Structure 1
Amino acid sequence: MSENEAQAAPQRVCIIGAGPAGLSAARALKRLGIAYDQFERHSDVGGIWDLDNPGTPMYESAHFISSRKTSGFFDFPMPETYPDYPGNRQILDYTRSFAAAYGLRAAIRFDCAVTDVRRDGDAWEVTLADGTVRHYRAVICATGVTWSPRVPRHQGEFAGEVRHSSTYRSALEFRGRRVLIVGLGNSGADIACDAAANADAAFVSIRRGYHLIPKHILGIPSDELANGGPQLPLWLERPFFRAVLRLLQGDLTKYGLPKPDHKLFESHPLLNSQLVHYLQHGDVAIRPDIAALDGSRVRFVDGSSEEVDLVLYATGYDWSIPYAEKYFQWNEGRPDLYMSVFSRDHHNLFGLGYLEINSSAYTLFDHISNVVAQYLHDQDHRPDRAAEFDQLIAADRPKLNGGINFLASARHRSYVDARAYHRYLAGLRRRMGWDDLLAGRFEAIRSAS
């Protein structure tokens, strides 16, 4: 498409980002014949799974924390040859094969960042890094939530090296060093295991206890077991899994892990089968929160200290949509979006992928993208139905926690339970008459591409 054609085509949709969420959106729009352009600042698709993508939080040892059978795009399963928990290179290959299978690359402009999005009447003015300005009927922001590292500040001065985990790539970086990992999310736990196997000494500083879930239970991937077995009510499911974990792991506090101050499932699941092994063998040690940095030592709140030469903060990320920040309503660092997707103020602005969920996100991206595409399609072909959905966007605030009282933290306030979200989304599609359009047409597009 020529530059002049783009300028004269305000009915096109702009997708920003070509990671898994952006690709899901592209396929959904293509399925309904909605014209769109897609922009990706990197040289290829894949988002964070491409280790060559500047700023990615990915590292060489990273694997999916959801299993192969429960992950993946809708009706595009991962290859049977993949292991239960695919590695980052396999996920990247899979994501790129998805883009190729549905002919999505043709509409993507690579090495082209979006620097600004501005309201232009009822449409949007999108400025690209080269200064080009284009106009679009709608904008789908799909640039993800792991690009702005959060680094806490501690008292004192440190003589060694301080980095965020977003800069970490290889376990070889730990050779000959005394390493302190700060934070025990899934990335922190993975990196702590790398340090345990390679560093001269490895420590993990944590502020609270976590429920540690092994990746396999009775030889079955944990999420596959949870999703494939009988759907127990929460009051029964929680004590059942707690008993199973106790049987498999014993009392983890004897390895230095604090007792969790919350119930099972009330925080982001920490899936790791290696950490306990390294704790049992003394290759990594748990330390409490940092009190101060003191030259070559790190002092902790319990009065202890350790000599370290690398502090690596695995402390998460601040969410941001820098090119369109002012058009979103923010609450404790999270955008207020209906179903974590739809702007309540602008009927043609979407944030896709801005949610925390306790299960695989890929299939969920597909189902959400389908609803976004249906809504945009209705704006042109069924304005009455689009208007009905506008009312839901403005007023509907469903509880999507599945009865789980997630931790009272900024991160967990945006958390949704996968089962509750899928149930509500399915009911929403039925209510809007969109259910029959979800399945049965992806394969046709794939074959024709």
Structure 2
Amino acid sequence: MQADESANDAPAHKVAIIGAGPAGLATARALRAMDVPFTVFEKHSDVGGIWDIENPGSPMYESAHFISSKTMSGHYGFPMPESYPDYPSNRQLLTYIRTFAETYDLRADIRFNTFVDNVERTANGWHLRTRSENDTSQEHNFRWLVCASGTNWLPNRPTLVGEDEFKGEVLHSVNYRDASMLRGRKVLVVGAGNSGVDIACDATANAESAYISLRRGYHFVPKHIFGMPADVFGARSNWLPAWLQQKTFGPLLRLLNGDLRRLGLPKPDHAVLSSHPILNSQLLHYLQHGDIAAKGAIDYLRGKQVFFKDGSSIEVDTIILATGYHWQLPYLPTDTFAWKHERPQTFLKIFNRNDPSIFINGYVETNGGAYKMFDDMAYLIANTINTQRKGGDAAERLAQFIQGPEPDLSGGVRYVESNRHSGYANQQAYGKAMRKMRRAMGWPDLSEDFYAGHPASAQIQTAN
């Protein structure tokens, strides 16, 4: 084992960030703006997180696009280029993320090809043991730790009854890359999340036959409503309380889409906006033309036959399980956070009430664009660390605030009962709660001036 030079340094005023995806980079930018020194540890050879299809374990696939629009999704002070389409491709997102890192000069403080094997709490902070690509181990000491390693890395891989004797192929969507895997095959996609419907559309256009299996009904939101991206349209009604948005948006969807049962889809068993939005118009198009068929829940497999709970069956060659991911922080001791419904229990999705020196960024699901939310979370983290290192009355007041009552982040929406939605945050309610913390601490609201002095994203030359 090789001892890193930082192992013997006093850890005060140093921050470790694990992960160089969008949340980790947002945190690094905020710390840089407040002159707080940090080091980012990234297991891959470049920034980008899951958006880099070459990153081992990434769930990315060639046809993937952002499900929020470029208008609503860029970082504060760093909008996506006007040359990008409404819904950028994964390649364009990766270019955007890498240009973000270069624009704010973040690469110099990132240790690439460095895997965090283990993290331990010490009397003065956090001790990290890392491993480089040549298996050289190093040790590091830091005063603070930010976990930004992302949620979509450990597949939720259910076992289907009869799978052991199935004569076809069963794989999780994390292993799906492009349509060449589907050509000439009879394909069943299980799950109707945004990845599931994307892959089902790939299958429709490329496979011999295509099916999608849904256990429940969903509300499908068109990517464009009255000629504008759906989230831009939604932002125009943000002045309405969430319950009233539900009342008005439900009838609008029925007007636009009609009764989805005519397409073989089950009737939604929940109110509109009470689950993570399925943003897809293409699947409905293919269903309307009979190019793909919707099926219900799977009962069992036999040979190449898939039998469903309703008694029907189909023959398939390939089953793709678009069944989501387990959240994890594998490098931490298991008792660092309390976990409930596979979600770390934190104050405001950021703070550990039992340890003020560790933070999380990016472990949140919401109904809107994520990157500005990551910026808001990073801003709170940076201000908190800056306040803690200065100490005094402000630090005491901060500690008391974090121990205060957990804000209601539902926005008055009753979300469906599932692991995914157990910690769901309505974006308006979350923004209000973060604003309350800033004002209680006397911190100004985040604005583009905080990151002034850097060129805008017009510097992005490549729009693949």
Question: Corresponding residue for 1:8?
Answer: 9
Contact 2:11 2:124 survives alignment (8 Å) = no
Match for residue 103 of structure 2 among 101, 104, 114: 101
| Aligned counterpart, 1:143 | 149
Contact 1:139–1:349 (CA under 8 A) maintained in structure 2: yes
1-structure distance, mates of 2:408, 2:340 = 17
Tell me the equivalent position of 2:461.
none
Q: Distance in 2 between the 1:383 and 1:189 partners?
A: 53
Instruction: List alignment gaps of at least 5 residues for structure 2.
Output: 457-464
* Pairing partner for 2:426 from 417, 423, 426: 417
In 2: Cα distance, 1:279 partner to 1:231 partner: 35
Residue 352, structure 1, aligned to residue 361, structure 2: yes
Contact residue 16 and residue 145 of structure 2 kept, 8 A: yes
Match of 1:131 in 2: 137
Question: Does residue 277 of structure 2 align to residue 269 of structure 1?
Answer: yes
Mapped contact 1:370–1:438 kept (Cα < 8 A): no
Q: TM-score, normalised by structure 2?
A: 0.93
Classify the secondary structure of the residue corresponding to 2:170. strand
- Look up the SS of the partner of 2:154 in the other structure: coil
In structure 1, which of residues 56, 59, 64 is the aligned counterpart of residue 58 of structure 2? Answer: 56
Partner Cα distance (1:230, 1:163) in 2: 40
Shift in CA distance, 379/302, structure 1 to aligned 2, threshold 3 Å: same
Structure 1 residues 316-331: aligned runs within 5 Å = 316-326=324-334, 327-331=336-340
Which letter does structure 1 place at the counterpart of 2:401?
Answer: L
Match of 2:460 in 1: none
Matched, 1:82 2:84: yes
Verify the 8 A CA contact 1:31 1:445 in the aligned structure 2. Answer: no
Matches within 5 A, 1:109-188: 109-129=111-131, 130-156=136-162, 157-188=165-196
Query: 2:400 aligned to 391, 405, 411, which one?
Result: 391
TM-score (norm 1): 0.97
The question of 1:441 aligning with 2:456 is answered no
Structure 1 unaligned residues grouped into runs of 5+: none
What is residue 375 of structure 1 aligned with on the other side? Answer: 384
Identify the residue that residue 19 of structure 2 maps to in structure 1. Answer: 17
**8 Å CA contact retained: 1:103, 1:446:** no
Partner secondary structure for residue 248 of structure 2: helix
Count of residues paired in the alignment = 446
Match for 1:69: what amino acid? T
**1:122 shift after superposition:** 3.3
For the pair 1:239 / 2:247, whether they are aligned, the reply is yes
CA contact 1:179–1:310 (8 Å) conserved in 2: yes
* Matched-pair contact (CA < 8 Å) for 1:101–1:446: yes
Aligned partner of residue 226 in structure 1, secondary structure: helix
Deviation, 1:396, is 2.2
Point out the more displaced range, 283-292 or 222-231. Answer: 222-231
Deviations 1:198-253 (A, max 9, x none): 11111111110000000000111011011034622334322322222122111111
8 A contact 1:355–1:415 mirrored in 2:
yes
Between 427-436 and 317-326, report the one with greater CA deviation: 427-436
The residue identity in structure 2 corresponding to 1:371 is L
Secondary structure of 1:357's counterpart equals coil
d(CA) in 2 for partners of 1:16, 1:70: 26
Please give the alpha-carbon distance, in whole angstroms, between the structure 2 residues aligned to 1:340 and 1:348: 15
Instruction: State the secondary structure of the residue aligned to 2:197.
Output: helix
CA contact (8 A) 2:376 2:446 kept: no
Judge conservation of contact 2:15–2:38 (CA < 8 Å) in 1. Answer: yes
Could you list the runs of 4 or more consecutive aligned residues of structure 1 that deviate by over 3 angstroms after TM superposition? 436-439
Aligned CA distance change for structure 1 residues 113 and 356 (closer, same or farther; 3 Å): same
Taking a change above 3 Å as real, the CA distance of residues 67 and 445 of structure 1, as seen in their structure-2 partners, is: closer
The equivalent residue for 1:203 is: 211
The Cα shift of 1:339 comes to 0.8
- C-alpha distance in 2 between matches for 1:65 and 1:153: 29
Deviation at 1:424, TM superposition (A): 1.4
Checking the alignment, whether the CA contact within 8 Å between 2:161 and 2:300 is kept in structure 1 is yes
What is the aligned-residue RMSD (CA, Å)?
Answer: 1.5
Q: Kindly provide the CA deviation profile for residues 135-164 of structure 1, in whole angstroms up to 9, marking residues without a partner as x.
A: 100110100000000011221131111100
Q: 2: distance between equivalents of 1:413 and 1:87?
A: 29
Deviations along 1:271-300, whole A, 9 cap, x unmatched? Answer: 001010000111111111111111211111
Which residue of the other structure, out of 326, 346, 349, is the alignment partner of 1:340? 349
**2:228 and 2:447 mapped to 1: Cα distance?**
30
Question: In the alignment, what sits opposite 2:462?
Answer: none
CA contact (8 A) 2:43 2:112 kept: yes
Distance in 2 of aligned mates of 1:224 and 1:202: 32
Instruction: State the alpha-carbon separation in 2 of the partners of residues 310 and 230 from structure 1.
Output: 42
Which SS does the other structure have where 2:307 is aligned? strand
Q: Output the amino acid matched with 1:190.
A: D
State the secondary structure of the residue aligned to 1:52: coil
Write the distance in 1 (CA, Å) between the matches of 2:215 and 2:70. 32
1:400 counterpart residue number:
409
Structure 1 CA distance, aligned partners of 2:307 and 2:18?
44
3-state SS of 1:348 partner: strand
Partner of 1:292: 300
Aligned partners of 1:63 and 1:85 also within 8 Å: yes
User: Which deviates further from its counterpart, 356-365 or 223-232?
Assistant: 223-232
- In the alignment, the residues of structure 1 paired with residue 161 and residue 195 of structure 2 have an alpha-carbon distance, to the nearest angstrom, of 25
Cα distance in 2 for partners of 1:126, 1:39 equals 10
CA–CA distance in structure 2, aligned partners of residues 420 and 190 of structure 1: 29
* Contact kept in structure 2, 1:73 and 1:362, CA below 8 Å: yes
Identical amino acids, percent of aligned pairs: 49
Once the two structures are TM-superposed, the CA of residue 431 in structure 1 deviates from its matched residue by: 1.1
